[in-house]
């Protein structure tokens, strides 16, 4: 199943259940967490969609990235800038609550659609990265895997002064570039700067087909990973969706599967999701505040 580039979200729906119902769901244990971009917004990484579910920015697709050297140069020029803000992000209280719930035995594995590594940075274990991780890069020609930090250092050496030129341009036009970072670390950069950027080449085969080790829109999640996640759903006492609109089948299929086999589904997001009709409990509320309240009800910090 490929990540779709557009998905219609349902009309706004009312809450189904209360915080007490959510507490009951989680206190039963065996909870499989499925987290999305809304999990990391309090860490300063904006999601793709606005409060009404409408996509605010269009990510580069897999077809675009593989289609030309020019597209890859554009991606890496933008990612070179965005990476520096992206890596400065730290786990927020939501990540910390999920880790605490896992350590206390309420939560088991975590499936995350995020590529930021913040669950692991907060100390969570057994995290399945459904869409990969930005801390790695892979060559599409020869399969060589390299660290994103090492790649960043190579790009810095090959593009001296690029950051300074970007900062000067952003200041001239009054751009708040930090607010434009996307969940994949991409960012808006003027074409005039992109044209001067030297994109990374693979150190093994020499091709310019180096790609972040993440699943782009239009690219398929490996079947073996999908099958593993289905198995986690089937073993779970409940599925708890945190901060995902479920707008792409990549994550929604697990909610749909849970509902089909009778595994309770809780959803906490700020607005309607594609999976609302499948939910046992749904709360359209700020994620951080809801997890704070959940943690307090379960005795965190006592």
**pTM, full prediction:** 0.87
pLDDT of 2:
46
Q: What is the mean pLDDT of each run of 10 residues along the chain (302 residues)?
A: 41 76 96 96 74 57 95 92 84 96 97 96 98 95 96 96 83 54 60 88 97 93 97 98 93 97 96 93 94 90 50
Residue 30 lies in a domain: yes
Residue 104 and residue 226 in one domain: yes
Q: What is the pLDDT of residue 9?
A: 38
Does a structural domain hold residue 50? no
Is there a single domain that holds both residue 147 and residue 190? yes
Q: Is there a single domain that holds both residue 75 and residue 180?
A: yes
Domain of residue 263 covers: 1-45+91-131+219-302
Last residue of a domain, one of 166, 194, 214: 214
175 and 286 housed in the same domain: no
Same domain, 194 and 160: yes
In a domain, 28, yes or no: yes
- Please report whether residue 209 resides in a domain: yes
What CATH number is associated with residue 286? Answer: 3.40.50.1220
Same-domain status, 165 and 282:
no
pLDDT at 4: 43
Among residues 131, 201, 207, 284, which one is catalytic?
131
197 in a structural domain? yes
Residues 2, 142: one domain? no
Nearest Cα to Cα of residue 101 among 198, 2, 238, 202: 238
- 103/178 same-domain check: no
pLDDT of residue 81: 85
**131 part of the active site:** yes
Residue 6 placed within a domain: yes
Domain assignment present for 52: no
Q: Is 51 a domain residue?
A: no
- Predicted local confidence at residue 60, as pLDDT: 84
197 and 71 belong to one structural domain: yes
If one counts the domains in the chain, the total is: 2
Secondary structure (H, E, C), the chain = CECCCCCCCCCCCCCECCHHHHHHHHHCCCEEEEECHHHCHHHCCCCCECCCCCECCCCCEHHHHHHCHHHHHHHHHHHHHHHHHHCCCCCCHHHHHHHHHHHCCCEEEEEECCCCCHHHHCCCCCEEECCEEEEEEEECCCCCEEEHHHHHHHHHHHCCCHHHHHHHHHHHHCCCHHHHCCCCCCCCCCHHHHCCCCCCCCCCCCCCCEEEEECCECCECCHHHHHHHHHHHHHCCEEEEECCCCCCHHHHHHHHHHHHHCCCEEEEECCCCCCHHHCCEEEECCHHHHHHHHHHHCCCCC
Per-residue confidence (pLDDT) for residue 181, from 0 to 100: 54
Domain boundary among 214, 232, 260: 214
- Asked if 84 and 119 sit in the same domain, the reply is no
Q: Looking at the structure, do residues 172 and 200 belong to the same domain, yes or no?
A: yes
Whether residues 64 and 152 fall in one domain: yes
Domain stop point among 183, 214, 245: 214
């Amino acid at each position: 199943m490929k990540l779709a580039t557009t998905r219609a979200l349902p009309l706004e729906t009312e809450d189904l259940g209360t915080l007490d119902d959510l507490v009951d769901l989680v206190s039963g244990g065996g909870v499989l967490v499925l987290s999305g971009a809304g999990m990391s917004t309090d860490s300063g990484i904006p999601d793709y969609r606005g409060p009404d579910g409408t996509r605010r920015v269009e990510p580069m697709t897999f077809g675009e990235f593989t289609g030309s050297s020019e597209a890859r140069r554009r991606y890496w020029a933008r990612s070179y800038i965005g990476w520096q803000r992206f890596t400065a992000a730290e786990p927020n209280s939501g990540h910390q609550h999920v880790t605490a719930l896992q350590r206390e035995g309420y939560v088991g594995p975590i499936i995350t659609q995020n590529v930021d590594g913040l669950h692991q940075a907060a100390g969570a274990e057994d995290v399945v990265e459904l869409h990969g991780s930005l801390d790695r890069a892979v060559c599409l020609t020869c399969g060589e895997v390299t660290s994103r930090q090492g790649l960043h250092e190579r790009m810095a050496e090959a593009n001296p002064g690029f950051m300074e030129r970007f900062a000067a341009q952003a200041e001239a036009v009054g751009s708040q570039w930090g607010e434009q970072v996307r969940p994949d670390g991409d960012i808006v950069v003027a074409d005039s700067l992109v044209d001067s950027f030297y994109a990374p080449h693979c150190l093994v085969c020499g091709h310019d087909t180096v790609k972040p080790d993440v699943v782009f829109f239009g690219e398929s999640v490996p079947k073996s990973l999908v099958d593993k996640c289905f198995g986690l759903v089937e073993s779970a006492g409940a599925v708890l969706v945190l901060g995902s609109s479920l707008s792409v089948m990549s994550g929604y299929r697990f909610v749909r599967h849970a509902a089909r086999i009778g595994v309770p589904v809780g959803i906490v997001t700020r607005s309607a999701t594609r999976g609302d009709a499948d939910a046992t409990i749904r709360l359209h509320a700020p994620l951080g505040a809801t997890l704070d309240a959940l943690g307090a009800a379960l005795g965190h910090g006592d």
